[in-house]
Structure 1
């Protein structure tokens, strides 16, 4: 038993109306694509911001390490907090909370042992940052390693994109410079 001709005609008309009616299809398509689009957009923005902050930290380190390299920090007899406050913080951009967030690690080694004797510890243990930083700028001709650390908060980690290397949705940014002090007097 075939359907009645009236039913066929009515079904064909309904199908034609459905195919011809495009109102709302763009909104439905956007609703399907928008979450993935915005997640990708925010992940790109956050990754770019992390790279920019990391480069800013590197620049601040290079500017600050020069005062140790030339002996200015040793002559001024800076301690760890004084070096951070007077030398590092003026070079840090507005991206960072210098007073509470920047960690400074300065370690020196005798030049007679060479750069092969430099031993750097990992500041991340079990997903947490361990503050075992020191301040030893060394003397003329000593090998010095200066490191800056900052725990950068991440916001897009909940969307499936996670570049955190610390617990609590943070990424540890670090900058390192190794050099031999100039023979200052």
Structure 2
């Protein structure tokens, strides 16, 4: 009984026990913040790369250079600072929009797979063109899902889109 009372009164090591209890949730939150930061960094890079490339479509460089889907993807991936398999995984959809009522939202995920029908039509001078780019992103820290819209292998799909009107060329 006396030994039990002395153990109850002894406070040595209580900080270590408290740290051990709080360490796991603390590091999970830190890794989640890091994961979201890296994901948003890559997504903003994808937005910037698509914007720079679409600018070349808008001013007629792509049309005069007879760009195809591969050349467009290569240019986007060259403008992307962290590509992570961009050239093989990037899906691009470029369509001419005849009226704004015909623009519909495309969901890139169907049944846990990346389901994008690639189309590449840059239009003519004065055409409205909707360009969408989708890039699968593997999480750095696979602790838990951040969003419910994921591929069956656990990847997220980062996306970027631009609606432009081609300048006269």
The TM-score normalised by the length of structure 2 is 0.88
* Map 1:170-185 → 2, pairs under 5 A: 170-184=155-169
Q: Is the 1:43–1:161 contact (alpha carbons within 8 Å) kept by the matching residues of 2? A: no
Matching of residue 162 in structure 1 with residue 146 in structure 2:
yes
**TM norm structure 1:** 0.81
Q: Distance in 1 between matches of 2:104 and 2:92?
A: 16
Alignment of 1:139-158 (within 5 A): 139-157=124-142
Structure with higher Rg: it is 1
Aligned to 1:49: 38
Whole-Å separation in 2 of the counterparts to 1:76 and 1:49: 34
The answer for unaligned runs of 5 or more in structure 1 is: 1-9
Contact map agreement 2:42 2:82 (CA 8 A) in 1: no
Question: Match for residue 131 of structure 1?
Answer: 116
The 1:40/1:96 distance shift into structure 2, 3 A limit, reads: same
Larger helix proportion of the pair: 1
Deviations 1:37-59 (A, max 9, x none): 11111111101111111111110
Q: Distance in 1 between matches of 2:100 and 2:146?
A: 35
RMSD value, Cα: 2.0
Query: Structure 2: which 5+ runs fail to align?
Result: none
